Structure 1
Amino acid sequence: MNTIKKFGIAVMAVGTFIACESDDNENEIITADSRAELYASSNSDGNVRMYDVSDIANVNSSMYGTLSTDAEGIYYDSTNDEVTQASRSGLQLNTYAGVFAAVSGVTLNVSATSNAVLVSPRDIAVNGNFYAVSDNSDVDGNQDTPDGRIFIFTKSGNDFTLRNTLTTDFAVWGIEFVGNSLYAVVDKTSDVAVFANFTATNTTDATITPTKRITIEGITRTHAIAETNGTMILTDIGNAGMDGDGGFHVISDFQSKFDAVANGGTLAVGNNQVRVAGAATFLGNPIGAEYDAQNEIVFIAERANGGGRVLAFSNIGTGGNIAPTVNNTLSGASSLYLYKE
């Protein structure tokens, strides 16, 4: 592992290890000798932050410059050591090579870019060589009619190609692949929608309707979505103009609970969900999330409180007003991606 320089990070030390999500082995417990990284994007400067979380009591971070001054959505490809961001300033996907070997403070080398076709990108979800980007810009010019876009790119080597653009009948924010199905946050509501067999079914430009849409009881306005090993994390930004009324919900065995609710129905809080919220959480506008199922740790990109934070909660239990295990300041924190090996 390369040496990673500490970059202005405040950590609450705890006597436990953190496990981070991995495509290869999601049940691997992180030890001090493991490679474990949390990648973050920012609306404030567009730079990439990489937090080395292999030792939770001594978290270091690196900062890397990019082409962007505002980015939202992030994905790390360990096979090629590349990180991809959705640039809100450049309105395109940008991939940067040689991240893990880079020295903190350098500007990363661009290895791939898409055409500047995005309008207001918010999240990236990757399934094989398909890169789906959610975009919450108004499509028809009428703010009273909810709509949004999902751009589907294919990546081959150093080339991004826009395969097709889909218009949704709701404003979209966070997106997450679970198998071949794409789950999407219905922005400005407490709803979650799913599109079954997403990339195979939707191959041309079209207006699409979700396979199913349900309401999550207890949430005011959801934004971020993350799933690992059957547990779904959904964030609640509450009133977008307030920096202390946010929270997140942990829903175990999500698929069976989602399937049991009729289309248009509501998933009740009782016996189904755990909610974390309150002044001790530092949650106001949580707009990014990741989840470690093995150790039941939720990672949050908090946009409003304190100007932006990266938080980790390892003591969820039955929820409530609990303090984060890790509380790092990051101005404009917008998106997270966890990697481990």
Structure 2
Amino acid sequence: MKKNVLNFSLIAAFALLTATSCDNDDNDSGENEIESSQLYVSNNSDGNVTVYDILTGEVKTLTTVATAAEGIYYDEDADEIIQASRSSNQLNVYSSISTYLASAVISASVTSTADVESPRDIAVKDNFVVVADNADVDGNPDTADGRLFVYTKSNGALTLRNIVTTDFALWGIEFVGDDLYTVVDKTNKLAVYTNFTAMNTTNAVVSASKTIAIEGIVRTHGLAYDKGTMILTDVADATSDADGAFHIITDFDSKFDAVASGETMAVANNQVRISGSSTFLGNPVAAEYDAASETIFIAEAANGGGKVLAFSNASAGGDIAPSINNTLASASSLYFYAN
């Protein structure tokens, strides 16, 4: 097991949350002691799961059956990781994750059928697991399309319920309540399907409930939401490893609602942009956000061959250095968990 890889200033910042966080309603004192804090990361180099312990600085590798993976989720109640395998075009579930105290080889306890073609992200709501797939649906590269595969997870099985075909290319997806926000790949746009799982129960081509452009972004890819703040990544020119960025949008819900469908959310007074040579952002393909510590985690696919970055000082924007800068070849997706 590797140790002391993470930046200890960030570890200290998370440690301070043991005295300041109030998220635990069962704690009458108003304090919520954080017992553990992990960042789970997939990659397209070997498909394994890299687990960063933010509080201790330890890093372990869970070797999986996948050789490339994109999309990851940790279910704290079931103590399971759900990962989308690009090498086998299916979802894999790995159980009893907390029992692995060091690097280990893990086997899937549940697998879905091989339905997807090019999985890019997953989002989970209750017993639904949604996979964003960016394969060309109609075989015509001049027409934009994508698919959202909707699985139900119950009784030890993952079952494909239905497929929603979109009229735009997909990448990152994120549930905010019952609404599914989706990146409109190859553009600077963000779309939402309201009440997604209840309103889309059959195989169908469905347009988004609303789509807006995000001023300042060239090409959206990753997104993350926590307690009213949305993070959007910008890969810009996908062939460059040095022109990436991400945007912070606080009070996101009201700002998104204030922009009419088809219109643009302005940068001024709405967004904070982080970009520049100090950031090591080239192709930031995925993001996670922890509102309690105001930390943004980034899966960077290109710069230096791939990195896991974290920014704990990004609220002012600009060309800032990350608090964490770890090498991980072809980093593709991540999920943050703390309790």
Answer whether contact 2:5 2:58 (CA < 8 A) is retained: no
Query: CA distance change for structure 1 residues 117 and 272 in 2, over 3 Å: closer, same or farther?
Result: same
| Alignment match, 2:298 | 300
Answer whether contact 2:290 2:296 (CA < 8 A) is retained: yes
CA distance in 2 between partners of 1:127 and 1:113 (Å): 18
| Alignment match, 2:124 | 126
Answer whether contact 1:284 1:304 (CA < 8 A) is retained: yes
Answer whether contact 2:24 2:32 (CA < 8 A) is retained: no
| Alignment match, 1:36 | 37
Answer whether contact 2:5 2:59 (CA < 8 A) is retained: no
1:222 and 2:217 matched: no
1:204 and 2:202 matched: yes
Match of 2:9 among 11, 14, 20: 14
Cα drift, residue 158 of structure 1: 1.7
1:31-63 per-position Cα deviation (integer Å, ceiling 9, x unaligned): 7x62110000010000011110024xxx11110
1:309 and 2:304 matched: no
Match of 1:250 among 244, 248, 251: 248
| Alignment match, 1:64 | 62
CA distance in 2 between partners of 1:95 and 1:138 (Å): 26
CA distance in 2 between partners of 1:117 and 1:25 (Å): 39
CA distance in 2 between partners of 1:120 and 1:302 (Å): 19
Cα drift, residue 29 of structure 1: 8.6
One-letter amino acid of the structure 1 residue matched with residue 2 of structure 2: K
- The 5-angstrom pairing of residues 326-341 of structure 1 reads 326-341=324-339
Answer whether contact 1:98 1:109 (CA < 8 A) is retained: no
| Alignment match, 2:280 | 282
Query: CA distance change for structure 1 residues 301 and 183 in 2, over 3 Å: closer, same or farther?
Result: same
Answer whether contact 2:282 2:300 (CA < 8 A) is retained: yes
| Alignment match, 2:182 | 184
CA distance in 1 between partners of 2:315 and 2:296 (Å): 12
Match of 2:263 among 262, 265, 268: 265
Query: CA distance change for structure 1 residues 237 and 264 in 2, over 3 Å: closer, same or farther?
Result: same
1:162 and 2:160 matched: yes
| Alignment match, 1:47 | 48
CA distance in 2 between partners of 1:249 and 1:309 (Å): 18
| Alignment match, 1:107 | 105
Answer whether contact 1:99 1:108 (CA < 8 A) is retained: no
Q: TM-score, normalised by structure 1?
A: 0.93
Query: CA distance change for structure 1 residues 30 and 328 in 2, over 3 Å: closer, same or farther?
Result: farther
Answer whether contact 1:234 1:249 (CA < 8 A) is retained: yes
**Any unmatched runs of 5+ in structure 1?**
none
| Alignment match, 1:78 | 76
Cα drift, residue 11 of structure 1: 3.1
One-letter amino acid of the structure 1 residue matched with residue 87 of structure 2: S
Query: CA distance change for structure 1 residues 30 and 88 in 2, over 3 Å: closer, same or farther?
Result: farther
Cα drift, residue 103 of structure 1: 4.4
What RMSD, in angstroms, separates the aligned Cα atoms of the two structures? 1.9
Answer whether contact 2:24 2:31 (CA < 8 A) is retained: no
Query: CA distance change for structure 1 residues 125 and 266 in 2, over 3 Å: closer, same or farther?
Result: same
Query: CA distance change for structure 1 residues 205 and 25 in 2, over 3 Å: closer, same or farther?
Result: farther
One-letter amino acid of the structure 1 residue matched with residue 54 of structure 2: V
CA distance in 1 between partners of 2:262 and 2:79 (Å): 42
**Any unmatched runs of 5+ in structure 2?**
none
| Alignment match, 1:148 | 146
One-letter amino acid of the structure 1 residue matched with residue 245 of structure 2: G
Answer whether contact 1:98 1:108 (CA < 8 A) is retained: no
CA distance in 1 between partners of 2:281 and 2:273 (Å): 12
Query: CA distance change for structure 1 residues 34 and 223 in 2, over 3 Å: closer, same or farther?
Result: same
CA distance in 2 between partners of 1:229 and 1:181 (Å): 15
Cα drift, residue 296 of structure 1: 1.3
Cα drift, residue 30 of structure 1: 8.5
Q: TM-score, normalised by structure 2?
A: 0.93
Give the number of aligned pairs: 329
Cα drift, residue 87 of structure 1: 0.3
CA distance in 2 between partners of 1:130 and 1:224 (Å): 20
Query: CA distance change for structure 1 residues 189 and 29 in 2, over 3 Å: closer, same or farther?
Result: farther
Answer whether contact 1:39 1:48 (CA < 8 A) is retained: yes
Query: Helix, strand or coil for the counterpart of 2:98?
Result: coil
CA distance in 1 between partners of 2:290 and 2:301 (Å): 21
CA distance in 2 between partners of 1:29 and 1:279 (Å): 39
One-letter amino acid of the structure 1 residue matched with residue 9 of structure 2: V
